[in-house]
Amino acid sequence: MGSDPRLSPRERAVLSAIVESYIATGEPVASHALARHFGNKDGMSPATLRNVMATLGELGLLDQPHTSAGRVPTAPAFRFYVEHLSSGAALALAPARLEEIEGSFAGIGSSQQFLERTSHVLALISSGLGVGLAATQEVHMLEHVHFTRLAAGRVLAVVITRAGTVLNRVLLLDHDLKGAELETAARYLNENFHGWSVERIRTELARRLEAERSEYDRMMHSLEELYRKGALEAEDAGGPTLFMEGVANLLAAETDRARLAAMLHALEAKERLIELLNAYVDARQRTVRVVVGLEEAIPELRDFVLIGTTARLGKEHLGTVAVIGPTRIHYQETIQAVEYIAQLSGRLLQPPQ
Category of 325 on φ-ψ map: left (φ > 0), alpha (ψ -120 to 50) or beta = beta
| Range 9-87 has CATH code 3.90.1150.10 | no
d(CA 10, CA 68): 24
Give the residue range(s) of CATH 3.30.390 domains in the chain: 141-233
Q: What is the pLDDT of residues 283-305, one digit of tens each?
A: 777 788 999 988 888 888 888 89
* Pairing outcome for strands 129-134 and 316-326: antiparallel
Residue 84 has pLDDT above 60, yes or no: yes
pLDDT of residue 237: 46
- Mean pLDDT across 304-324: 86
Amino acid at 170: V
pLDDT of residue 316: 72
- Mean pLDDT across 226-234: 66
Give the residue range(s) of CATH 1.10.10.10 domains in the chain: 9-87
Number of C-alpha atoms within 13 angstroms, CB side, residue 81? 28
**Third-level CATH fold of 141-233:** Enolase-like; domain 1 (3.30.390)
- For 319, the enclosing helix (H) or strand (E) is strand 316-326
For residue 219, name the pLDDT band (cuts at 50, 70, 90).
low
pLDDT of residue 309: 92
d(CA 276, CA 118): 18
Residue 279 has pLDDT above 80, yes or no: yes
pLDDT of residue 17: 92
Q: What is the pLDDT of residues 134-147, one digit of tens each?
A: 876 545 678 889 99
Q: What is the pLDDT of residues 149-200, one digit of tens each?
A: 898 889 998 888 766 667 788 888 888 888 888 999 999 999 988 877 777 7
pLDDT of residue 140: 65
Give the residue range(s) of CATH 3.30.450.40 domains in the chain: 95-136+240-348
pLDDT of residue 67: 64
Category of 295 on φ-ψ map: left (φ > 0), alpha (ψ -120 to 50) or beta = alpha
pLDDT of residue 1: 43
Residue 213 has pLDDT above 70, yes or no: no
* Helices 198-211, 217-228: inter-axial angle, 10-degree rounding: 140
d(CA 351, CA 353): 6
Q: How far is CA 286 from the centre of its chain?
A: 13
User: Which CATH code fits 95-136+240-348?
Assistant: 3.30.450.40
Q: What is the pLDDT of residues 49-67, one digit of tens each?
A: 889 999 999 999 999 877 6
